[in-house]
Amino acid sequence: MSRSAVVYYAVGGVTQKALGLLMLPVTASLLGVAAFGQLGLLVAVANVGSLVASLGLTECCQRYASDAAMLRRIQAFGWRYGCALLLLSPLLALGLARLLPGDLHWLWLQLLLANLAMGGWLGLRLVSLRINNRPQRFFRVIVSMSALQTGLSLLLLLAGMGVGAVMLSGAVATATILIWDGRPMLMRAARSPVGPWRPIVGYGLPLALSTGITFVLNGYERPWLAEAVSLEVLGAYVLVWQLSLLPAYAMEPFMLWWGPLRHRLADRNESVILARVTAAGVALLVVAIALAATAIPLAFPWLFDAAYQQGLQWLPALLLITLLRQIPALLSIGVYHRATGNLALVLNAAIMLPALVLLPLAIIVAGLTGLIQAMTLLMAIRAMLFYWVSQRQLRLPYSTLGLLGLSIATAVALWAGHPVLLLALASVAAAYAIRTLKTGTVTVAAAQWQS
């Protein structure tokens, strides 16, 4: 992959995230805190629904990128699967409208499910562009999609359509982009035979399940909260939860570079380089968390209505949860450097299955405070479990005490909440990351990448 291709993919992803973040205060203001809570419930449905709609087919395409016949079969299967989801969506929307709390309208859910089904087709189109090395086209599609959805959302929100504006704009934008760019692929898929479907589902389904299990700590709690607290409290919680993910978004350029490279280095047994650059990545994550903990409370009153202010009390804990959630993705190279993703599925299941009972129980006993405490505990156990198993699979010379000390220092600084302490933490972590990366690690890693 050329450097220009990486730039196109990175800028496209950053643009998509940036437009979403720019719309966040506008959406929160125009909807109001109660309606924003309803939107949070719909986002939770979308998190699960996107996994059902995609069925791991994009990952399956990447696995068989060199097999043109298999790619055509996957696209043919995806077309038929998406059509089946569209046909079933009215009944599914009706069932969800009756089951879920929060007075969610059937039409909102119908638009959301239709968008998810079409989104599966769009995902196949985007992965096809990446496989065929067409980064400029990928950039145009992803940016056009984001800009169209953002513009429509703004117009419909200003027109007073409420939560329905967000659902309708998403469905219209996805359909428009598919008609503009994905129509030839879908026509070929409709004419192509599927052939044996078991290999397709057999590869994609475990990956979808592995990702889906993590939903337990990323949206499963919202329907329970909607019953235990008011929609206003839920709306404030959802907003601050989204802001707490900013450090993870800030790390995406690093992970775009480091994600594939670390596997190449692991194949060459470059354990020292792996450990040093990964530790530097953790330090950069701490920098982003400390800066977010400093800046968000200062900007919050200027960006959001007073009804959302109560959510700031949960920001430090949610930022700590973000740190614990990202640590396995950074440090657990041994878990992911395997021929299959089964190990990650097993480890996630070991944490998430007990959480199915623990999280609702925590909400019943102690409300939102109990939920956050339970989530922090579960994330800490998950981080330690992934680290321990990863080291058994691929031992790297990490400074375990140093990483633990940095995590504890972050927790203390977030708990204290003083800007001076947070900025001091950011300065120390940044100095460590820069010193680590300046010792020739990036140069060696870049040489390995080019080779």
For CA atoms 186, 190, 193, 196, give the dihedral sign.
positive
Give CA–CA dist 345/207, Å, rounded. Answer: 8
For CA atoms 157, 161, 165, 171, give the dihedral sign.
negative
C-alpha dihedral, 382 to 387 to 390 to 391, nearest 10° = -150
Question: Distances from the Cα of 225 to the Cαs of 110, 241, 438, in angstroms?
Answer: 23, 14, 47
Sequence-distant contacts of 164-168: CB under 8 A, at least 24 apart: 164/105, 164/107, 164/108, 164/111, 166/27, 166/39, 166/42, 167/42, 167/107, 167/108, 167/111, 167/112, 167/115, 168/111
Instruction: Render pLDDT for 64-120 as a digit per residue (tens, 0 to 9).
Output: 666 778 788 888 888 888 899 999 999 999 998 888 877 888 999 999 999 999 998
C-alpha dihedral, 334 to 339 to 343 to 345, nearest 10° = 120
As a whole number, mean pLDDT of residues 429-446 equals 68
Instruction: Render pLDDT for 5-38 as a digit per residue (tens, 0 to 9).
Output: 667 777 777 787 778 878 888 888 888 888 888 8
H helices of 340-418, where?
Answer: 342-393, 400-416
Q: Closest Cα partner for 44 from 101, 124, 122?
A: 101
H helices of 32-162, where?
Answer: 33-54, 57-63, 68-99, 106-131, 135-158
pLDDT at 279 over 50: yes
Give CA–CA dist 185/182, Å, rounded. Answer: 5
Q: Cβ atoms within 10 A of the Cβ of 179, count?
A: 10
444, exposed or middle or buried, with CB in 10 Å at 0-12, 13-18, 19+? middle
**Angle at the Cα of 443 from the Cα atoms of 439 and 445, rounded to 5 degrees:** 105
Are the beta carbons of 371 and 318 closer than 8 angstroms?
no
Instruction: Render pLDDT for 283-319 as a digit per residue (tens, 0 to 9).
Output: 999 999 999 999 999 988 888 878 788 888 889 999 9
**Angle at the Cα of 198 from the Cα atoms of 195 and 202, rounded to 5 degrees:** 140
Instruction: Render pLDDT for 40-65 as a digit per residue (tens, 0 to 9).
Output: 888 888 877 887 787 878 777 766 66
- Per residue, the 3-state secondary structure of 56-91, as one string, reads CHHHHHHHCCCCHHHHHHHHHHHHHHHHHHHHHHHH
Cβ neighbours for 438, distance < 8 A, ≥ 6 positions apart: none
Question: Distances from the Cα of 435 to the Cαs of 101, 269, 404, 424, in angstroms?
Answer: 51, 23, 19, 17
Helix (H, G, I), strand (E, B), or coil: what is residue 219? Answer: coil
Give CA–CA dist 203/208, Å, rounded. Answer: 9
| pTM for the structure as a whole | 0.73
Are the beta carbons of 289 and 330 closer than 8 angstroms?
no
For CA atoms 24, 26, 31, 33, give the dihedral sign.
positive
Instruction: Give residue 1's pLDDT band: very low, low, confident or very high (50, 70, 90).
Output: very low
Per-range mean pLDDT, top range of 69-73, 139-143, 168-172, 212-216: 168-172
- Summarize the chain as % helix, strand, coil (round to 5): 90, 0, 10
pLDDT at 255 over 80: no
Rg (CA), the chain: 22
**Angle at the Cα of 254 from the Cα atoms of 56 and 424, rounded to 5 degrees:** 130
**Angle at the Cα of 265 from the Cα atoms of 260 and 271, rounded to 5 degrees:** 130
Q: How far is CA 218 from the centre of its chain?
A: 9
Tokens of 265: 């280095």
State the angle between helix axes of 231-244 and 271-303 in degrees (0 to 180), rounded to the nearest 10. 140
Region for 440 from its dihedrals, namely left if φ exceeds 0, alpha if ψ lies in -120 to 50, beta otherwise: left
Q: What integer pLDDT is reported at residue 449 of this predicted model?
A: 46
